[in-house]
Amino acid sequence: MARVRLVAGNWKMHGSRASIQALLDALLQGIPRSGNCAVTVCVPFPYLGQVAEMLRGGPIAWGAQNVSEHQQGAYTGEVSAAMLAEFGCRHAIVGHSERRQLYGETDAQVAAKFAAAGTAGLTPILCVGETLQERDAGRTEEVVGRQLGKVLEKNSFENAILAYEPVWAIGTGRNATPEQVQTVHAFLRGKVSSDTPILYGGSVKPQNAAAIFAMPDVDGGLIGGASLVAKDFLAIVEALNT
């Protein structure tokens, strides 16, 4: 896919009908009408209908935070990629570190989810990232290379987005430095097509976004906490929009 610049919000398990209405109203009002930056929000499953209704035809796309690796069947509690497509989702996050760590998702499972999303016409946002222990042991490239490698074994990365999210920077308030981000992004770029958008995620805030986005191999951000606060999310979009 074209090397688009993208800011993606990951709302995680936050929100209510009322808070989502207020957040999207504010985003729709403040979103830049021109520029070269795309915006998407990845929302909890139950609100996909509400979000689709509010965002359809507008400048903000939407997606999910997870997807089943199966097409259909006896998988209680799971949501298929075809179901997400029916709700107009453009994106699906796969392999977020919270899914890997809290729910034991393996590299193979993440690769299968990536494939399922693509088959249904969604654009997967594949998350890779190392723990602090792995970074301190000098294993960052080995870990992110392995996570990405498993996906590349059986999938093309043509219509996909990569997100580097160091686990130690997610929700901790401690972002990777722009130089640390650039080093890993350059490594990852060597493994996918030069057109692949590569996002950084991990405590991106209005205060640090511009410096991170200025790095040559950073094409945008995957934003957790700050995506729940309209003025912060809009400021991050502004930092990418040139």
10 near ligand PEP, judged by CB under 6 A: yes
Q: Concatenate the DSSP letters of all residues of 60-80 into one string.
A: EEEEES---SSSSSS-TT---
191 backbone dihedrals φ, ψ, rounded to 5° = -105, -10
15 near ligand PEP, judged by CB under 6 A: no
CA distance 27 to 233: 8
Helices (H), the chain: 17-30, 48-55, 81-86, 97-102, 107-119, 132-136, 140-154, 178-189, 206-213, 230-240
165 is a catalytic site residue: yes
201 near ligand PEP, judged by CB under 6 A: yes
129 near ligand PEP, judged by CB under 6 A: no
Catalytic residue among 69, 98, 130, 165: 165
| Closest residue by Cα to residue 87 from 56, 125, 124, 119 | 56
225 near ligand PEP, judged by CB under 6 A: yes
Instruction: Please state the closest distance from residue 168 (CB atom) to ligand PEP, in A.
Output: 10
Give rounded-to-5 percent helix, strand, coil for the chain.
Answer: 45, 15, 40
Specify the residue, 121 or 171, whose C-beta has the smaller distance to ligand PEP.
171
204 near ligand PEP, judged by CB under 6 A: yes
Binding residue count for ligand PEP, defined by CB under 6 A: 14
63 near ligand PEP, judged by CB under 6 A: no
Catalytic residue among 96, 105, 130, 185: 96
**Which positions touch ligand PEP (CB under 6 A)?**
10, 12, 165, 170-171, 201-204, 222-226
The set of catalytic residues is 96, 165
